[in-house]
Structure 1
Amino acid sequence: MIESWRWYGPYDKITLPEIAQTGATGIVHALHEVPYGAVWTQEAIAARKAEITGAGFDWTVTESLPIHEAIKRGDGDLSALFANYRQSMANLAANGVNTVCYNFMPLLDWTRTDLAAPVARGGTCLRFEQARMAAFEIHMLERDGAEDDYSPEVRNKAAAWFQRSSEADRDALLHAIMSGLPGAFDRYDVAGLRSALAAYDGIDRDSLRANYKRFLQEVIPAAEDLGMVFCVHPDDPPRDILGLPRIVSNGDDIGWILSAVDSPANGLTLCSGSLGANPANDVPAIAERFADRIRFAHLRNVRKDADGSFEEAAHLDGDTDMVALIRVLVTEEARRRADGEDFAQIPIRPDHGHELLSDPERGSVVGYPLIGRLRGLAELRGVTRALEQVHNHG
C-alpha cells in the first residue's frame, strides 16, 4: 500500500519536510483555493505538483475535486459546470495525477459537534453528540420537522443543553458543525445555513440519486479516456442530516453507485470511520464485497454510543476491527499484482487523529494534527507489515 498524508498546502501549518519524517511517501491534496465550479488550470496544478515532488513525495490522490452544489441539486443548465469539471480532470491527468476522491454529500462535508472532546488518557478528539446536533437543528436552526428526526430522550437532552447554553456555547457549536468544510470556502451563519438549505427544498433521496447518476454519466467516460479513477467517499455521518438525504451511507448505497455506471474508473474510497459510524455497517465485510473497486482508503476508527453519538477513537481501538479490514486490503493488493492490474497499490492515509502532546499549540487544520496522525500511521504500518509477512510467507 502507498502510505499517504493529507496536506492542505497554504492552509496547512504542517510542512512537507515535517511530513517526510512520518515515513509517508504520498501526498493527498487539492487546490482548495480554487472556487467550486472553476477550472483547475494546468499551471496551478503543475506548480503545486512541483512543490510536492520537490519535497520528495508523489501527489498520489486528489482529495477532493469538489462538485458544485448546483450539480447535486440538478439546477438548470449544467453544461458549463460539467465542462469545467472535465477540463480540471484533463489538467490533472496531464500532470500525472490520476486518482480523484470526491463526495456527494449535500451542502456540508463531515459534521461534528465538538472539536476537542477529552480522551481518557489525555488529548482530545472530534465528537458527534446527538443531543447537541438536535439542539442545533431544533432550537438554533429551527428547522421544520427536525423534532421528528430525534428520539424523545435526545430531544429532552437537547432542550436542556440549549436552556443552559451561553451565546459562546452556541457559537462554538455552529463553528464545530461548519468546520468540516475544507479550504477557503464560506462558512454559514444560522441565517445563511437556512437559506442554503432552502435551495434543497424538494430534493429527496430519489432525485439526489438521479442527479448523482447524471454526474457519473458526465465524468466517468472522461475518466476512462484519461486513464483516471474516481472513488466516492462515504457520507460522514452516514445518515440523513439537516433534513438532507444522504445516499452513500452503507453497502447497498455503494452497490447502487458502482452499478449506476459500471466501470473500473467508478470506484470507492473505503473510509472506515465514516462507514463505521453506522451501527448496521460491518466495515470489513463492505470492504471485502467491493474490494476490486477500492481505489483509496481512509483508515480511522470510531466508538459509538447507543443514542447515535460517536467519537474518533485511536486507530486500533474503536468499534471497527482494523486488523480484519487491513487484511482485506492486503489480500486485494496481492490479487491485483498477480493479475497485472493497473492501480494495483492502494493509497491509504491515517484519517483524522487525536490531538496529542503539542498538537493543540500548532493550530493545524481541524481533525488533521501532526502527532495524532503520526501515531495512527505508525500503528497502521505495523499491522500492514505483519499481515503482508503472513500473506507472503504463509
Structure 2
Amino acid sequence: VVESIPVHNSVKTGTPERQRYAGWYRDTIRALAKAGISTICYNFMPVVDWTRTDLMYRLPTTGYALRFDALDFAAYDVFVLKRSNAEASYGPERLKEAEARLKTLSNDDIEKIERNLIAGLPATERTYNRETMRQALADYAAIGPAELRANLAWFLREIIPAAEEVGARMCIHPDDPPFSLYGLPRVVSTADDARFIVGTVDSPSNGLTFCTGSYGVRADNDLVAMIEEFGPKIHFAHLRNVTREADGSFYEAEHLEGSTDMAEVILALMKEEARRRKEGRWRIPMRPDHGHLLADDIGKTKINPGYSLIGRLKGLAELRGIMRAVERFELA
C-alpha cells in the first residue's frame, strides 16, 4: 500500500491545467504498479489535509493525543483568520461561544492554534500565513459541494481506466474531520458520499479507504452498516478511535475505547475478507491509524503527530488481539 499520493489543486478546482496533472497521476499509478505497489490511497480534501487544533492533548493516562476543539477552531476562523464571510458558516449560538472562547485564549494559545491549523500543517509540507491562507480559500469561493463532487467524478473517470490496466486499486480516504472547515466543501464524509464515489465509476479499481477515525467522528455514520454495504469496495482500512463530544469537538482515543465499537468494526471487516476468499484477492490491508504519545517517546523530537512508535505498537498489539479472538471464536 502507498498512502497520500497528492491530487493537484487544479483537479479539485476544475481549472484547465487539470488534464496535465491527471496524466501525471496516471503515470504515477503505472509506475507504482510496476514497482509492485497496487493499492493506492489518496484523498480529495481541498486546501487542508487532516486538521487538529491541539497536537498535545494531555490524557488521564499521562500520554498525549490529537484533538479537534470546535470552539477553538471557530474562534480562530472568525476572529483571528477573519476569513471572508466566516460568520455565515456558524449559527448565532456558536458565534457567541466562539467569541467567549477567544477571550479566554492568551496570545501564546492563539499562536499555538494557528501553528497547528495553518502554519505547520501535520499532514503536508505546505504552510500558510493568514494572508496566503485567505488567498487559498478564495480559490474555492465559487465551488460548493456539487462542483467539488463533479470534479472528483471527472478525476475518477480519468484515472480508474489506468488503474484497471495495471491491476491497481485506488482507495479514497475520507475527509478528516468529515465536515466543512473554513467554509470549504467536503465530499468524502458520509455513506451517501461513498455511494456516489463507487457508483460514478463501477470498477474493482475504484474503492475506499475505510478510516474509522474519520468516518467515526460523525454519529450519523453507522460504521458496521457501511462496511456491510461497501465491503467489496473497501481496499484498505485505517483503524482509529475517537471520542466525540457534544459541541462537535473530538479527540483521538485509545484504539479499543472511544465512540466506535472497534471489535464490531474488525469483525465486520474480517467477515468481508472471509467472503472474498473464493475470489483470490481477499485481504484488506489494515493498520493502526495514529497512536498516543507515550512513555519514552514523550519529549523526543522529529516525531510526526500521531505517529509515535510506542503508541502505534500498543494499538497494533490491541488490534491484533481482537483479530485473533475474531478468528478463534467467530470465524473458525
SS at match of 2:115: helix
Contact kept, 8 Å, 2:157 with 2:201, in 1: the verdict is yes
Residue 148 (1) aligns with residue 88 (2):
yes
CA offsets, 1:322-365, max 9 Å, x none?
0110001111111111x2332x1111111111111122222311
CA–CA separation in structure 2 for the residues paired with 1:392 and 1:325: 14
What is the correspondence of 1:157-306 to structure 2 with a 5 Å cutoff?
Answer: 157-178=97-118, 179-183=120-124, 185-306=125-246
Shift of 1:256: 0.4
Summarize the Cα distance change of 1:285–1:180 in structure 2 as closer, same or farther, 3 Å threshold: farther
CA–CA separation in structure 2 for the residues paired with 1:211 and 1:192: 24
Residue 369 (1) aligns with residue 318 (2):
no
CA–CA separation in structure 1 for the residues paired with 2:264 and 2:235: 18
Unaligned runs of 5+ residues in structure 2 are none
Residue of 267, 288, 292 corresponding to 1:354: 292
Where does residue 320 of structure 2 map in the other structure? 381
Shift of 1:175: 1.5
CA–CA separation in structure 2 for the residues paired with 1:133 and 1:127: 11
Residue identity in the other structure for 2:89: D
Summarize the Cα distance change of 1:145–1:175 in structure 2 as closer, same or farther, 3 Å threshold: same
The percent of aligned pairs where both chains have the same amino acid is: 46
Residue 332 (1) aligns with residue 272 (2):
yes
Contact kept, 8 Å, 2:237 with 2:286, in 1: the verdict is yes
Residue 84 (1) aligns with residue 24 (2):
yes
What is the correspondence of 1:82-121 to structure 2 with a 5 Å cutoff?
Answer: 82-121=22-61
CA offsets, 1:110-144, max 9 Å, x none?
11111111112211111110100001110011123
Contact kept, 8 Å, 1:101 with 1:269, in 2: the verdict is yes
Shift of 1:180: 4.5
CA–CA separation in structure 1 for the residues paired with 2:2 and 2:158: 19
Unaligned runs of 5+ residues in structure 1 are 1-60
Contact kept, 8 Å, 1:181 with 1:187, in 2: the verdict is no
SS at match of 2:298: helix
CA–CA separation in structure 2 for the residues paired with 1:205 and 1:157: 27
Residue of 63, 66, 69 corresponding to 1:129: 69
SS at match of 1:290: helix
Q: Point out the more displaced range, 262-271 or 161-170.
A: 161-170
Contact kept, 8 Å, 1:331 with 1:391, in 2: the verdict is no
Shift of 1:375: 1.0
**Root-mean-square deviation over aligned CA pairs:** 1.4
CA offsets, 1:73-108, max 9 Å, x none?
001232221111111111111111111000001111
CA offsets, 1:214-251, max 9 Å, x none?
10000000000011000010111111111101111110
SS at match of 1:63: coil
Contact kept, 8 Å, 1:154 with 1:307, in 2: the verdict is no
CA offsets, 1:288-310, max 9 Å, x none?
11111110000010001111011
Normalised TM-score (structure 1)? 0.81
Q: Point out the more displaced range, 205-214 or 351-360.
A: 351-360
Residue 319 (1) aligns with residue 259 (2):
yes
Q: How many residues align?
A: 330
Contact kept, 8 Å, 1:267 with 1:293, in 2: the verdict is yes
